[in-house]
Each structure stands twice: as C-alpha cells, then as structure tokens.
Amino acid sequence: MLFDSHCHLQFDDFKKKDIAMYCYLTNNIAYSKFKLGDKSALKQLQETLKIRDSIQSIPIQITSKTYLGEYYLAHRDTLEANTYLKEAQLQAHQNNIFEDELKIIKLLQQANPIQETFYADRYIQLNDSLQNVERATRDKFARIEFETDEITSEKEIVKKENNELITKIWVVLAFALLSLFVIILWFMNKSQKAKTREL
C-alpha cells in the first residue's frame, strides 16, 4: 500500500513536470484497462481528453478521441462512437496525420455498417495515396544516393588522375634534375681537362 502511494506521488509530480507525457502515459494506461475489461477506463479516458483539450495538443486529442470512439463502439454505443471518431478523423485529416486517419476510418467502417462501402473506398484511396508518397520518397532517396555515389566515383577518378599527374611531374622533375646534374658534371670535367691541357 505504501509502495502504491509512493508511485502515485511520483506520477503526480510527473504531471507537473511534463503534462503532455503524463497525458500520453495515462491514456495508454486507460486504453490497456479498456482492453482488459476494466470499467474505470472510461472515466480515465474522459479525464485525459479534458486535460489534452486544455493544453491544445492535436495529436494527443486525436488519440484520446480515437480511444473513446473505440471504447463506445465496443459497448455498442455507435452514436457516441461516431461523435468521437468523426471529430478525430477531421482533426487527423486537417493536420495531415494520415496514419491515424487510416485507423479511424477502419473504426468508422465498423460503426457505420450502412456506409461500409464508402469508408472502405476511402480507406483504399488514402492507403494508396500514402503508398505512392512513400514510394516517391523512397525513389527520391534512391536517386539522391545514386547521384551521390556517382559524384563519389567521379571524385575518386579525379583524385586518381591527379595522383598520376603528380607522380609524372615528380618523375619529369627528377629526370630534369638528374640531367642537369650530369651536364654540370660533364661541363666541370671538360673544364678541368682544358685547364690541365693548358698547364
């Protein structure tokens, strides 16, 4: 009991330090309770949504509303489920959070059997669009990688050519110095012979 009180105190302290993370954790705890059949989950989900509304965090609001919609759907209250799910879908769509929107559309499909075809089509369209974007992004990065490899290869070729050119320059320079040294020796030798002849 003392341990539980200590943990609860730490959790409340955490609420003061990082309210967004506190909401994220409590929402996940509430969702886990809901999945385990704990009836206290609803109250916790509603309380978390109120806190999230107060801090104006769109992703957190979407998650809360989605969980509440799923909760009411599981308890066959399609009216409440649709209220939360449609709000969540609208927010997700307006803020380009399409992964969440896909999940919400699946839940709306279950909550609206009469409009099942409409939501199924919407899901397919959105999923295809996301895959196209993902494919385009992947292709773009592949092209960038290919171009980078080409540039790297060209750099290596230029570097190799530069090294070969430098080597040739050193060989020519060494040959020129050696030739100059031989000429000087030859000239000195000839000069020495001429002096000897004069003597």
Taking the model in full, what pTM does it have?
0.57
> Rounded CA gap, 123 and 117, in Å?
10
pLDDT of residue 6: 46
Residues with Cβ within 8 Å of residue 109, at least 6 apart in sequence = 115, 116, 119, 120, 123
User: What would the mean pLDDT of 145-154 be, rounded to a whole number?
Assistant: 71
* Rounded alpha-carbon distances, angstroms, from residue 21 to 35, 55, 70, 130: 21, 12, 22, 28
User: What would the mean pLDDT of 18-23 be, rounded to a whole number?
Assistant: 76
pLDDT of residue 13: 61
Query: Across the chain, where does the E strand assignment appear?
Result: none
Express each pLDDT in 178-191 by its tens digit: 888 888 888 887 77
Express each pLDDT in 158-179 by its tens digit: 788 788 888 888 888 888 788 8
100 and 66 Cβ atoms separated by less than 8 Å: yes
pLDDT of residue 10: 59
Express each pLDDT in 77-131 by its tens digit: 889 989 999 999 899 988 988 888 889 888 998 888 888 888 888 888 888 888 8
pLDDT of residue 5: 44
Q: How confident is the model at residue 153 (pLDDT cuts 50, 70, 90)?
A: confident
Q: How confident is the model at residue 4 (pLDDT cuts 50, 70, 90)?
A: very low
Q: How confident is the model at residue 14 (pLDDT cuts 50, 70, 90)?
A: low
Express each pLDDT in 46-60 by its tens digit: 887 777 767 777 888
Q: Return the closest-CA partner of residue 50 out of 65, 39, 37.
A: 65
> Rounded CA gap, 14 and 174, in Å?
75
Q: Which amino acid is at 69?
A: G
Q: How confident is the model at residue 199 (pLDDT cuts 50, 70, 90)?
A: low
> Rounded CA gap, 129 and 98, in Å?
10
Q: Return the closest-CA partner of residue 85 out of 98, 61, 101, 66.
A: 66
* Rounded alpha-carbon distances, angstroms, from residue 68 to 54, 73, 92, 108, 158: 17, 8, 15, 13, 63
